[in-house]
């Protein structure tokens, strides 16, 4: 018994029939197309993750700059009111 009730001999017979029907060139082309599709999918996911990371970094930088500006202006206002 093999995978889910299919023996190794049944798998080999199916493989031979597929080879006879499609030929090795078509199967190679199909494998290459499938590999290219998977590669493209992974590339798209990676690019999307990089975009999100870049946007996150930009947002954090802007928030840090805004916080620094608020801290500076608050300190200046406090110093002015203490000197009066």
Count of domains in the chain? Answer: 1
Instruction: Judge whether residue 2 has pLDDT over 60.
Output: no
Does pTM top 0.95 for this prediction? no
For residue 42, the enclosing domain spans 26-55
Confirm whether 82 is domain-assigned.
Answer: no
Asked if residue 40 belongs to a domain, the reply is: yes
List, for residues 37-76, the tens digit of each pLDDT value. 999 999 999 999 999 999 998 888 888 888 777 766 666 6
| Residue 78 counted as domain residue | no
Cα–Cα distance for residue pair 57/43, rounded to 1 Å: 21
- 44 is written with which tokens? 């798209």
Per DSSP, 72 falls in state H
In a domain, 42, yes or no: yes
State percent of the chain over pLDDT 70: 80
CA distance 72 to 70: 5
Residue 80 has pLDDT above 70, yes or no: no
Q: Which pair of structure tokens corresponds to residue 83?
A: 């000197």
Residue 79 lies in a domain: no
Do 27 and 19 contact (CB within 8 A), yes or no? yes
Quick one: pLDDT band at residue 84, thresholds 50, 70, 90? low
Instruction: Establish if 37 belongs to a structural domain.
Output: yes
Is 30 part of a structural domain of the chain? Answer: yes
Rounded CA separation 54/64 (Å): 15
Is residue 17 one of the residues assigned to a domain? no
pLDDT at 5 over 90: no
Helix/strand/coil for 12: helix
């Amino acid at each position: 018994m093999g995978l889910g009730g299919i023996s190794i001999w049944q798998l080999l017979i199916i493989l031979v029939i597929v080879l006879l029907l499609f030929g090795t060139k078509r199967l190679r082309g199909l494998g290459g197309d499938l590999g290219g599709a998977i590669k493209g999918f992974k590339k798209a996911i990676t690019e999307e993750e990089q975009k999100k990371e870049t946007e996150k970094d930009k947002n954090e930088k802007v928030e840090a700059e805004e916080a620094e500006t608020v801290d500076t202006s608050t300190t200046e206002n406090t110093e002015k009111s203490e000197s009066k």
